[in-house]
């Protein structure tokens, strides 16, 4: 018996794909999840807000702004670095952090496009 090839129609008129699995960019969703998880902590969000008002800040100035110890702030900065939301420039013993505004803008644009 000869196999009959079926032409699948779109699963729904809104997305236009033959399956919902095709409608997702799984890599983009994973990257967005990492970024949003990094922003999901109040201290990390506070660090982002603080850095948004400055070009760069010394880690000692960031530590001063929060009611936690330096190792905790360093942990949060590492999470933000791994999410590519901040970068660091080292000068001698000091580390200066800056906001990756381009990454934050892309994240905001992605969220707006979901509406």
Q: What is the mean pLDDT of each run of 10 residues along the chain (115 residues)?
A: 55 66 73 86 97 96 96 97 96 96 90 83
Alpha carbon distance 94, 77 (integer Å): 14
pLDDT at 106 (0 to 100): 87
For the four alpha carbons of 16, 22, 27 and 31, in that order, the dihedral sign comes to positive
pTM (whole model) above 0.75 = yes
CATH 1.10.10.10 is right for the domain spanning 26-113 = yes
pLDDT at 60 (0 to 100): 94
pLDDT at 115 (0 to 100): 84
pLDDT at 34 (0 to 100): 86
Give the start-to-end residue ranges of the domains of the chain: 26-113
Sheet holding 94-99, edge to edge: 57-58, 94-99, 86-91
pLDDT at 16 (0 to 100): 66
pLDDT, one tens digit per residue, over 34-55 is 888 999 999 999 999 999 999 9
């Amino acid at each position: 018996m000869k196999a009959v090839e079926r032409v699948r129609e779109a699963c729904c008129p809104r997305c236009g794909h033959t399956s919902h699995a095709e409608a997702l960019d799984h890599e983009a969703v994973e990257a967005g999840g990492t970024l949003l998880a990094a922003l999901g902590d109040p201290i990390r969000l506070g660090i982002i807000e603080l850095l948004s008002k400055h070009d760069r800040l010394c880690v000692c100035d960031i530590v001063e702004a929060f009611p936690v110890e330096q190792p905790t702030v360093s942990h949060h900065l590492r999470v933000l670095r791994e999410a590519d939301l901040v970068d660091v420039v080292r000068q001698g013993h000091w580390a200066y952090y800056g906001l990756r505004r381009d990454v934050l803008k892309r994240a905001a644009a992605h969220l707006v496009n979901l509406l």
